[in-house]
Structure 1
Amino acid sequence: MSRLLTTALLLGQTFAYDTVLGFNSRPTVETRTIDEIYSAALKEGGTVTVWHGGDEKDQQDSLKSAFEKRFPGMTLNITVDLSKYLDSELDQQLYHNNVFVDSIVLQTLQDFPRWQQEGALLNYAPVGFDKVYPAFKDSISASWYGYSVFFWSLSWNTAKLPHVSNISSYSDFLKPEFKNQIVITYPNDDDAVLFAFYQIMQQLGTKWFDDLLKQNPRWVRGTATPFTILSGANYSQSATFTSFSGFNPGNNIKISFPTDANFVSWPQTAAILKDAPHPESAKLFHNFLLSSEFQKTLPLSARQDINSSSSPYHDIMHTPHTNPTAFARFMSDRVTVERVRFFFENRLGTAQGLSPLIDDI
């Protein structure tokens, strides 16, 4: 019966979306060297303003440091906030013809084809664009492309769970030893987490969710918050499956990947605004993002030809138990997204707590 209910709940996802070409869709293909673009950016003023999706203000400090170290004299003004808020604020800029952001890097993948169709994005292919997985980019207009593959893993603190040698499935979280030990992001507050639950319940049914609630998990806002809590000695919770920690998460933290349902992975997607006030600086930033030197530092590269040193997966397209193109299809089907969201809101209530960017947990 639970499987029938799950099927009724989850049916309706579309399986593809098409990019409709916007006006003047032919892209500019970059042929300059990185140093030539750097020189043009310095002459322009040496500043680039970027909005990056995330839920901790300092989440992209390492990107800022790497960019400014690589290009002395350049300033990367990077703002991190939830993608669902940044996209609506960008729409306001576009509506009022007052674009002051140069570049966006967001999780709201459904917005990029729309902005491309509206003529809001610059049709520009940085060096390395041809190496990006075709499914992660608009190959015709070059107006948007993934730069890094994000993913959720199963994560736990071995110091807090000394008797747990491994977690290999979502079903493991239903074992007695995880009672009161789980911390999870509200699925009705973050679309990537919503998609994680969507995929799990496609395989394990609504009974899995009912049994998860019996484990008395701690529900939080933000996808960085669970990892902060399970890592912290002052918190009792010790395990999660809704946080990104890379492949080398640190002392006492182990990660694994599920075998009983798919885990979420997607290309965090970037674009330059057509009316960016600092177009040369934005181009420099995007050429840096897709450069082999930077891509090799990422847990999972969006380029087919880059094998990140820390990654056990060298071909994300053929990694077991994940499909990095599925999240974009889910995000484009807003009817299904809202229907599934309200299922969880009905069970859990609205997400409680301040935005993770201002909450001290």
Structure 2
Amino acid sequence: MKFTKKTMAASLLALTAVTVLAACSTAKKDDKAASDKGVAVETKSLDTLYQEALKEGGTVVYYAGGDTAEQNDDTKAAFEKKFPGMKLEVVTDYSKVHDGRLEYQMATDNVVADVVQLQTLNDFTYWKKQGKLLEYKPAAWDKIYKDFKDPDGAWVGGYVLAFGNVVNSKALGSIPEPKTGQDLLNPELKGKMISTYPNDDDAVLFWYKQMIDKHGWGWMENLMKQDPKFVRGTQEPGDKVAAGDYAVTLGTAGLLDASAESHLAIPEKDGFVAWAQRMAILKDAKHPAGAKLFENWLLDKETQENNIFQWSVRTDVTPAGVKPIWEYKNANMKEFVDFMEDRAEVERFKAQIRLFVGDVQGASSAGERGLTPTTRQPQ
């Protein structure tokens, strides 16, 4: 073949095309290899997982962040009804207590929890780096909102909680429903508000931080003139408002139905706090089959539609009357994650808040649970 400028150009183009195709093929193989190394999404049915869990012994120990020992009894009852012969041992305690307990269990090679679900979001990124979590992707993985799951499957959100002003419309009477920080300074609300100690709960602390960042420390000074009642745990404020003993809580979860007598007053201008409560299976779990069954059941569409208090983590489940939580820009979900990761900032702000509300007073509302509890009964 006689080479001319024309034939040489054609040859170079053909060679380039072959090289590009080869590179693409190699890249696809590399991508597939990387994907193959990752954790596959669960394909087993709930019934198959159920049978495996029964063969394992039929028990799951579930450490859940919360305020009272009985707070997750409904979850226990629903799970055990769905899967006869299974026992869900629920231990509910403050997340900040559970994480210390889990660190102790890990350090002493005596992990008794199988599944953990906590508000202390920073623990999950730390435990992942430490190799303490089992990488696992439940069957609902592709339906979970993108920011509510670790890409490697180390953790996944179980449900969404939102803290803000919970109000009792009957207790308010003619007082306008407070939806902003400034609304809370209405003199008619003096003595009618109750709050978790913000220096006892990081999510409540972050709610206060939003108010102070927007309205200044003068707002906090004026809020204290309203004589708010401070207690431990977020359950009591919600219960007291629902009973009509107080008209408003500050930084607590509530019903999303605005027609309910006691409900969460979702603000339009000021912020509130929302996050996906992170859930993970511990690498040293004694009942991994039971833990997988529990995660898949909790994230199943039927469970998320019928057993979740506020928002689901699934993109195909939204409570009536509200938007998907990720559409509320003032829910500050990313900002809360960042806040929880910056422990030095948390402690600095907590120290300032303490100057207003004082040291936390009273016994834990969850009870004292010891080092390695495996049932809901306080010790």
Give the alignment partner of residue 314 of structure 2, picking from 299, 303, 321: 303
Alpha-carbon spacing, 1:123–1:254, altered in 2? closer, same or farther (3 Å): closer
C-alpha distance in 2, partners of 1:246/1:274? 35
Partner of 1:47: 59
CA drift at 1:311: 5.0
Tell me which amino acid in the other structure corresponds to 1:53.
Answer: G
Partner of 2:336: 327
C-alpha distance in 1, partners of 2:46/2:103? 31
Task: Give runs of aligned pairs for residues 146-185 of structure 1, distance below 5 A.
Answer: 146-185=157-196
C-alpha distance in 1, partners of 2:268/2:257? 20
CA drift at 1:158: 2.6
Tell me which amino acid in the other structure corresponds to 1:50.
Answer: Y
C-alpha distance in 1, partners of 2:143/2:305? 13
For normalisation by structure 1, the TM-score amounts to 0.87
For normalisation by structure 2, the TM-score amounts to 0.83
Give the alignment partner of residue 196 of structure 1, picking from 190, 207, 210: 207
1:236-270 deviation digits (Å, cap 9, x = unpaired): x3211221123248963243122342100000010
Task: Considering fraction of residues, name the structure with more helix.
Answer: 2
2:107 paired with 1:95: yes
Q: Is the 8 A contact 1:171 1:260 kept in 2?
A: no
Alignment root-mean-square deviation, CA: 1.9
Tell me which amino acid in the other structure corresponds to 2:270.
Answer: A
Bigger-Rg structure (1/2): 2
Partner of 2:75: 63
CA drift at 1:220: 1.0
2:274 paired with 1:262: no
C-alpha distance in 2, partners of 1:311/1:46? 39
Tell me which amino acid in the other structure corresponds to 1:220.
Answer: V
Tell me which amino acid in the other structure corresponds to 1:279.
Answer: P
C-alpha distance in 2, partners of 1:153/1:136? 20
Structure 1: gaps (5+ residues): 1-24
CA drift at 1:102: 0.5
Give the alignment partner of residue 92 of structure 2, picking from 80, 103, 107: 80
Partner of 2:322: 312
Partner of 1:219: 230
Give the alignment partner of residue 243 of structure 1, picking from 229, 243, 252: 252
Q: Is the 8 A contact 1:160 1:238 kept in 2?
A: yes
C-alpha distance in 2, partners of 1:75/1:223? 27
C-alpha distance in 2, partners of 1:26/1:62? 35
CA drift at 1:28: 4.4
Tell me which amino acid in the other structure corresponds to 2:66.
Answer: G
CA drift at 1:165: 4.3
**Secondary structure of 2:264's match?**
strand
Q: Is the 8 A contact 1:157 1:231 kept in 2?
A: yes
**Secondary structure of 1:155's match?**
strand
Q: Is the 8 A contact 1:124 1:142 kept in 2?
A: yes
C-alpha distance in 2, partners of 1:222/1:157? 19
Tell me which amino acid in the other structure corresponds to 1:77.
Answer: E
Partner of 2:117: 105
Task: Give runs of aligned pairs for residues 17-36 of structure 1, distance below 5 A.
Answer: 26-36=38-48
**Secondary structure of 2:134's match?**
coil
Query: How many percent identity over aligned positions?
Result: 39
**Secondary structure of 2:290's match?**
helix
CA drift at 1:155: 1.8
Count of residue correspondences = 331
1:87-144 deviation digits (Å, cap 9, x = unpaired): 01000111111111100000000000111111111011010112212211111x2010
2:217 paired with 1:206: yes
Tell me which amino acid in the other structure corresponds to 2:303.
Answer: F
**Secondary structure of 1:229's match?**
helix
Q: Is the 8 A contact 2:180 2:267 kept in 1?
A: yes
**Secondary structure of 2:330's match?**
coil
Alpha-carbon spacing, 1:64–1:319, altered in 2? closer, same or farther (3 Å): same
C-alpha distance in 2, partners of 1:76/1:87? 20
C-alpha distance in 2, partners of 1:132/1:329? 20
**Secondary structure of 1:125's match?**
coil
C-alpha distance in 2, partners of 1:46/1:276? 14
1:138-192 deviation digits (Å, cap 9, x = unpaired): 11x2010111110013222233221124222121110011011110111111000
Partner of 1:291: 300
C-alpha distance in 2, partners of 1:254/1:289? 24
C-alpha distance in 2, partners of 1:258/1:247? 12
**Secondary structure of 1:66's match?**
helix
Runs of 4+ in 1 over 6 A off after TM superposition: none
Q: Is the 8 A contact 2:138 2:292 kept in 1?
A: yes
Tell me which amino acid in the other structure corresponds to 2:104.
Answer: Q
Task: Indicate the larger mover: 130-139 or 350-359.
Answer: 350-359
Alpha-carbon spacing, 1:260–1:207, altered in 2? closer, same or farther (3 Å): farther
